[in-house]
Amino acid sequence: MLGRTAANLFWLSRYVERAENMARLLEVGYRMSLTSRREGGASEHLVSMMQAAEVDEGFDAKHDVADVDTVAHYMMFDPDNPNSVYSCLMAARTNARSVRTAITTDMWESMNGAWLEFSQIKPRDVRGAKLLGLLQWVKQRSHEFRGALLGTILRDDGFSFLQTGNFVERADNTARILDMKYYVLLPRATQVGGDLDIQQWTLILRAASAHRAYRHVYHDRYKAHNIADFLILRPEMPRSLVYCANFVQQNLDSLAKLYGRKEKCQEAADSLLALVEGASMEAIFTDGLHEFLNEFIARNNRVTDALSESYNFY
């Protein structure tokens, strides 16, 4: 496989996952802003949501007020925002187009169909309930693409690059959501949160599509400790850091088996997994949640760098 092809597959998957995550973040920010309107329509939730998505600086450079319409437009449609759903879908499709011979027809049609439908949408028609509908649509198209991928592609090196891209991106996203609100998760004298805490916790769980699953796992009220545990250490939670790190490590392992040798990226993945596997929330809180999350994000980035070095991405 060409090194360029491997890179395109990795980024194709990353961008699809990122589009989905952007839609989920925007949905959360939008929901929260409905219940807590601020002066001039600006919303604190929208701002912290943009921080988690790492698009706040770009937004501030263009806009003065973070109201729902402006933020929604910036996150969905703005080509100047490299992480807008528009930019992600376009980047994903461009990558897919470059590697059409390396993906299946079903994957291509799903990707191309998503892009064509999305590019037909007129931004000014998308408000209120329509916005939520469109965000739902973005998530569904991402699911559809992943379904086409899992259902049709050969389990060879291309598959490993696609899967690694997907879970590196997801790990990054979960870590950033946690970091955005890490302070509301810190242990406090009282176990019971106030209304504001509950609202913040809901935001975090929803942003990781985890608010229902939480109940199934903990059979308990929302508690800061559990929420952190759920999104960091729970192996059965498909967006948790440990799950993603495990997934990345296994995929790179099978790549090493296929190619007959280990490279730097396998070491990087081992080191990512070592950070979360067998860790306890108590230890993480003691050493500092924020510091822990930053270390995780850094090691996760190192996986991408090592991957491009090991397999001649260009």
Question: Which of 270, 275, 259 has the alpha carbon at shortest distance from 306?
Answer: 270
**Stretch of residues binding other proteins (CB under 8 A), selected from 28-36, 96-104, 126-134, 271-279:** 96-104
Draw the binding track, 44-83, toward other proteins (x: CB under 8 A; -: no contact): ----------------------------------------
Site for other proteins in 155-214 (CB under 8 A): 157
- State which of residues 6, 53, 85, 276 lies at the interface with other proteins (CB under 8 A): 6
Six-digit token string for 50: 């943009």
Dist CA 122 CA 164 (whole Å): 34
**Closest distance of CB 18 from other proteins, Å:** 20
Distance of alpha carbon 238 from its chain centroid, rounded? 11
Longest dimension (CA), the chain: 61
**Closest distance of CB 258 from other proteins, Å:** 9
- State which of residues 3, 40, 133, 151 lies at the interface with other proteins (CB under 8 A): 3
* Eight-class DSSP state of 64: S
| 128 interacts with other proteins by CB under 8 A | no
The packing angle between helices 157-180 and 44-52, to 10°, is 140
The helix/strand/coil state of 209 is: coil
Site for other proteins in 17-36 (CB under 8 A): none
Exposure string over 264-285, b if 16+ CB within 10 A, otherwise e: ebbebbbebbebbeebebeebb
Site for other proteins in 250-269 (CB under 8 A): 259
**Stretch of residues binding other proteins (CB under 8 A), selected from 1-9, 122-130, 133-141, 172-180:** 1-9
| Contact criterion met (CB below 8 Å) for 123 and 76 | yes
Question: In the complex with other proteins, which residue's Cβ is closer, 3 or 147?
Answer: 3
Q: How far is CA 166 from CA 45, 92, 149, in A?
A: 27, 12, 11
- State which of residues 113, 147, 278, 288 lies at the interface with other proteins (CB under 8 A): 113
**Closest distance of CB 112 from other proteins, Å:** 5
**Chain positions contacting other proteins, by CB under 8 A:** 1-4, 6, 94, 97-98, 100-101, 105, 108-109, 112-113, 116, 119, 157, 259, 311-312, 314
